[in-house]
Amino acid sequence: MPRVKRGIIALKKRIKVMRLAKGYRGARRKHIKSAREAVIHAMAYAHRDRRVRKRNFRQLWILRINAAARINGISYSRLIAGLKNAEVIINRKMLAEMAVVDPSTFAKYAEIAKQNLK
């Protein structure tokens, strides 16, 4: 059986990890064992935090909508329920943007919600 030399393949694997570890401090950038571990953790955190970012933005939008809704004399839950009854299809991101940028239009949506509450 011929001898298999893996030097190039192993080196390519290490280079790939070291490129991902570029910018890290100390041994995490220079030593392959530390770098590999740091890269694995970094990828896991990145995956987790992409989900967390979506969660945080939704919380922010709800907070802004609630504040604007209370200015217009209605609670957040009743605003959403009223809009759902009126069959108004608008997402929370757009409602939050309207609450900040265009309060007069948001007030119209609040009125629609008030009229369509059961």
Nearest alpha-carbon partner for 42 in 58, 56, 21: 21
The predicted pLDDT at position 118 comes to 77
The predicted pLDDT at position 50 comes to 97
Q: How far, in Å, CA of 46 to CA of 104, rounded?
A: 39
What 3-state class would DSSP assign to 108? helix
Mean pLDDT by 10-residue block, N- to C-terminus, for the chain (118 residues)? Answer: 85 96 96 97 97 97 97 96 95 96 96 92
What 3-state class would DSSP assign to 1? coil
Of all helices (H) and strands (E), which one includes residue 106?
A: helix 103-115
Q: How far, in Å, CA of 98 to CA of 20, rounded?
A: 40
Three-state SS for 39-71 is HHHHHHHHHHHHHHHHHHHHHHHHHHHHHHHHH
Q: Is 72 left (phi over 0), alpha (psi -120 to 50) or beta?
A: alpha
CA distances from 13 to 10, 22, 36 (A): 5, 15, 10
